[in-house]
Chains A and B, each alone.
Chain A
Amino acid sequence: MYKGLYYIYIVAKNTVENKNKLIFQMINHTLFLLFSLFLYKNVYEISPGLKEKIPFVNAIWSMSIYFVVFWLALRNIERSFRDDIKTGNIELYLLRPINYVWQKVFIQIGQGLIPFFVSLTLAVIINYLLVGMPVVGMSYFVWFFALLVIFILSQILMCLIFILCGLSGFWLQNSEPTYFVVSKFIMIFGGAWVPVAFFPKTLQVIAEFSPFGASMALSYAMYPNFADRFWILVLNISFWILFSLFFVHLVSKRAIKKLSVNG
């Protein structure tokens, strides 16, 4: 545990040293939040019926949270695997006394942690000032802890999904096509383009109960019926975590055995 936390701390420290990049990323993030707010305001004015599916405030929070999670960038675990296999840098990680997959997770969390917290702070301030707090059907104190549970579980699932994508590269030589399909499903079912609440009912259920939607369940947690759906979301994500863990365990040892690094 301490090893992992220290690993994350050092990588985060290394990342934050590049302050200009972080500032540029956060300006980009702020502009994007303001743009989507403006866009949604107009969409809601043109189609007042949308309010019945999801209130404007909740739609804005849902979109913002999707983009905040985007900065944590756990999907980059797959790219990191891909680069290590291509360049042969994997050998450096295999020489360390910590499991390769764990190291990749620590590195990605370390790289994404500071942008994640800064973007979260910006999103909360902008949303609170411009649209107010979402309708959540429970006290905000309880909501916060419920969100935290969903966040942690969904990010564990996200890690596992992209670890599996990355591990596929040991057989396919290039895991990019797998990554492309999976990341697009996560974007669609996670509500990156339009909130899932706008989907037809059947597609909503498929999105929510698929591993792709479950890994972005935080955006669902911004919906007004979150209080009623909390335990279903937790069970659904937990199921997919166990399912993915089984496959990661099965595949990872075989992947390392399959490894061939050019001399």
Chain B
Amino acid sequence: MIEVKNLRKTFNYKGKEIVAVDNVSFSISQGESVAFIGPNGAGKSTTIKMLTGILWPTSGSVSILGFSPQEDRKKVVSQIGAVFGQRSNLLPNLPAVDTLSLFGVMYGLSKKEIKERINYIEDTLELHSFKNQPIRTLSLGQRMKVEIACALIHNPKILFLDEPSIGLDIIAKQILRETLLHLRTKHNMTIFLTSHDVGDIEAICDRTIIVNHGKIVVDEPTSELHKLIDKEKHVEVRGPSLEDVLVNIYKQ
């Protein structure tokens, strides 16, 4: 589904070459949910931008469902959805339904298809209670749901998420995680996530790729990650985390 081979991206700054992504290779199959993580400046966002066709690689190749995101941009964008946590696709003065309709039209859906997709997404993401409110009146969590709804309007096969939980409070994060988990388990959607939030990764992703200085340093199932540093036996005490406690209090 996603094939990345020897991907490299360099930027020139004042005559100096900066290597953002250095010879990265991996593949992701359908239904996989992959976290692509690393410290700031590791090359996560640059990689996701090359995968979605926004940036052109310096060398190497990317194949999304058999197409190059740069050369076959239209074919690729009609098969993928993307959510960038720091940016918004929404029109502030209009209700979600209008933005969703606009995206439906952009993707070439018929009026009937748009109506069906909106109804389906409303049910899946539980947008009913606020779908007719102007976006500017929604909470951050509700807005993020609408952002995801926009990314799903054309029924994409792959969902790319670049730090989707950035700036969200605990409740909004939980809503986001539940939504993504639902898409993964019920719809077998392929998810490619970059995030600094370990909670997001643990909740959603079954595989984690860690990058540093533009190179892949770890590519393991998420459940196996702790073994990389566990040299001694340990005792695990299970109980509600502080995050669980806060969510509980907020919900009351």
Contact = CB atoms under 8 A, between A and B. Distances in A.
Nearest to B77: A97
B56 interface: yes
Contacts of B89: 92
A95 B54 contact: yes
Interface in B82-97: 82, 84, 87-89, 91-94
Interface string B100-138: 011101111000000000000000000000000010000
Given A13-B94, A13-B98, A17-B93, A260 B11 contact: yes
Interface in A6-47: 6-7, 10-11, 13-15, 17-18
Nearest to A6: B105
Interface stretch (B40-48, B220-228, B234-242): B40-48
B20 interface: yes
Contacts of A2: 105
A200 interface: no
B106 A263 contact: no
B77 A95 contact: yes
Contact of B105 (A7, A15, A18, A89): A7
A205 interface: no
Given A2-B105, A3-B106, A91-B84, A261 B54 contact: yes
A97 B53 contact: no
A218 to B, nearest CB: 30
Identify the interface centre among B49, B78, B101: most chain A CB within 10 Å of its CB: B49
Given A2-B105, A263-B41, A263-B45, A97 B94 contact: no
Contacts, number: 77
B218 interface: no
A259 interface: yes
A249 interface: no
A201 interface: no
B46 A92 contact: no
A3 B108 CA distance: 8
Interface residues of A, number: 27
A199 B160 CA distance: 58
B74 interface: yes
A130 interface: no
Contact of B94 (A10, A88, A259): A10
B52 interface: yes
Contact of A96 (B41, B49, B106): B106
Given A2-B105, A263-B49, A17 B134 contact: yes
Nearest to A2: B105
Given A91-B84, A97-B107, A257 B56 contact: yes
Contacts of A262: 45
B55 interface: yes
Contact of A10 (B11, B55, B91): B91
Contacts of A97: 74, 77-78, 106-108
Contacts of A89: 87
Contacts of B99: 10
Contact of A17 (B43, B54, B94): B94
18 contacts: A3-B105, A3-B106, A7-B105, A7-B106, A10-B91, A13-B98, A14-B94, A15-B93, A88-B87, A91-B52, A92-B88, A95-B54, A96-B106, A97-B77, A97-B78, A257-B56, A263-B20, A263-B43
